[in-house]
A and B are shown apart, each in its own frame.
Chain A
Amino acid sequence: MADEHDRQGDDLPELGRALRRLYQPSADVPADTDAAIRAALRLGFAESRRKRLVFARRLAPFAAVAAAAAVVLLAIWLATLGPPSAPPQPAVARTDPADLDQNGTVDILDAFHLARHLEAGEAIDAALDLNRDGAIDSLDVDRIALRAVSLTPGAG
């Protein structure tokens, strides 16, 4: 294969010479022209660098303000995130059976309502057997009332 390639090169000597001429560095550039070109290039690069520095200096205050604003915005965003969210609760939250009026607080009115239901002989939710003695009676009313006046939150 290599032999065949060499043979082809021998077959086209003019083309080979032309290609070598094309890619060979030209040696006939005068030295002063070369130096002038280099000086011009150096001047161009220096000018470009100076312009970049001037631009950077002019931009610096704006960049500082932008960075400060970004920090403030980040802080605000983090503050609005709040604490990590609580683990998801079951879709149906279990309500407190002692909170009869379901206002979120066990108070004397819950005991009052149970007492009235008992006096009226109405059907009462079995969950209101708070002392688990098998009966819903005045002892359960007392239990709710004592919870209402408890000084320890969540007691009872």
Chain B
Amino acid sequence: MNKLLAMISVLSLLPLAGFAQLAQPPQAADLQYETPPRSAFTALEIWLETGDQPLAAYQLEMVATAGDVRIVGIEGAAPGSIFGEPPYYDPAAMQSERIIIADFSTAPPEGLPAGRFRIATIHLQVVGDVEPAFETKLTVAADADGAPIEAQLTTRPGQDR
């Protein structure tokens, strides 16, 4: 009888031993998570120089030529200015590395921007350590009559806000 009781006691303790094993904290060797790639947010400012010609319409294309770059946001010119609202763009450009932006204003010439001014800012996520590089192309720059004007496009790194 005593032997039978002892056997039952041992058998009833076996599941507890299993739980105890499961409750052990994982060993350091088991924790092998992959380190995520470095990711940073930055911005690219798009500037136009039109001399003394007021700008009424523009269209440009930007493409990342190096690095793992994803477009995450578009910003217009200085808030409150003629081109202060975000320009037209294809929503499909978000999370991609290429975008076409464009905008126009029917304001009279005296209200249009001229000289050198920031026309837009493109916000970017850069993944990895490869330094990003970009190509930009101005395809349309026109005055209040829709006539083409001479304009130079430049970019510079912006401050992500």
Contacts of A136 in B (CB 8 A): none
- Main DSSP-derived SS at the B contact region: strand
CB atoms of A108 and B93 under 8 A apart: no
Of the residues B99, B102, B106, B142, contact of A115 by C-beta under 8 Å: B106
Q: Tell me, in angstroms, the Cα distance from A146 to B91 when the chains sit together.
A: 10
Contacts of A145 in B (CB 8 A): 88, 102-104
Let me know if B101 is at the binding interface, CB within 8 A. Answer: yes
Interface string of B33-67 (1 = CB under 8 A from A): 00000000000000000000000111100000000
Interface set, chain A 51-80, CB cutoff 8 A to B:
none
Interface string of B91-124 (1 = CB under 8 A from A): 0110010111111101000000000000000000
Q: Tell me, in angstroms, the Cα distance from A111 to B100 when the chains sit together.
A: 15
Let me know if B146 is at the binding interface, CB within 8 A. Answer: yes
CB atoms of B96 and A108 under 8 A apart: no
Decide: A107 near B93, CB < 8 A? Known: A116-B146, A146-B88, A148-B88: no
- Main DSSP-derived SS at the A contact region: helix
Let me know if B139 is at the binding interface, CB within 8 A. Answer: yes
Distance of A155 from chain B, by nearest CB (Å): 8
Let me know if B140 is at the binding interface, CB within 8 A. Answer: yes
Range class of the B interface residue count: 20 to 34
Query: Which residue of chain A has the shortest Cβ distance to B105 in the bound complex?
Result: A112
CB atoms of B106 and A116 under 8 A apart: yes
Let me know if B134 is at the binding interface, CB within 8 A. Answer: no
Let me know if A38 is at the binding interface, CB within 8 A. Answer: no
Of the residues B57, B96, B100, contact of A112 by C-beta under 8 Å: B57
Contacts of A142 in B (CB 8 A): 88
Contacts of A146 in B (CB 8 A): 88, 90
Of the residues B88, B106, B146, contact of A109 by C-beta under 8 Å: B146
CB atoms of B104 and A151 under 8 A apart: no
Of the residues B56, B59, B96, contact of A149 by C-beta under 8 Å: B59
Q: Tell me, in angstroms, the Cα distance from A115 to B87 when the chains sit together.
A: 15
CB atoms of B139 and A112 under 8 A apart: no
Let me know if A42 is at the binding interface, CB within 8 A. Answer: no
CB atoms of B102 and A107 under 8 A apart: yes
Contacts of A148 in B (CB 8 A): 59, 88, 100, 102
30 A-B residue pairings within 8 Å (CB atoms): A101-B146, A107-B59, A107-B102, A107-B139, A107-B140, A108-B57, A108-B58, A109-B57, A109-B140, A111-B88, A111-B102, A111-B104, A112-B56, A112-B146, A113-B146, A115-B106, A116-B106, A148-B59, A148-B88, A149-B59, A149-B89, A149-B90, A149-B101, A149-B102, A150-B100, A151-B90, A151-B93, A151-B96, A151-B100, A152-B90
18 other A-B residue contacts (CB within 8 Å) besides A108-B57, A151-B90:
A101-B146, A107-B140, A108-B102, A109-B57, A109-B146, A112-B104, A113-B146, A115-B104, A116-B146, A145-B103, A145-B104, A146-B90, A148-B59, A148-B88, A149-B100, A150-B90, A151-B100, A152-B92
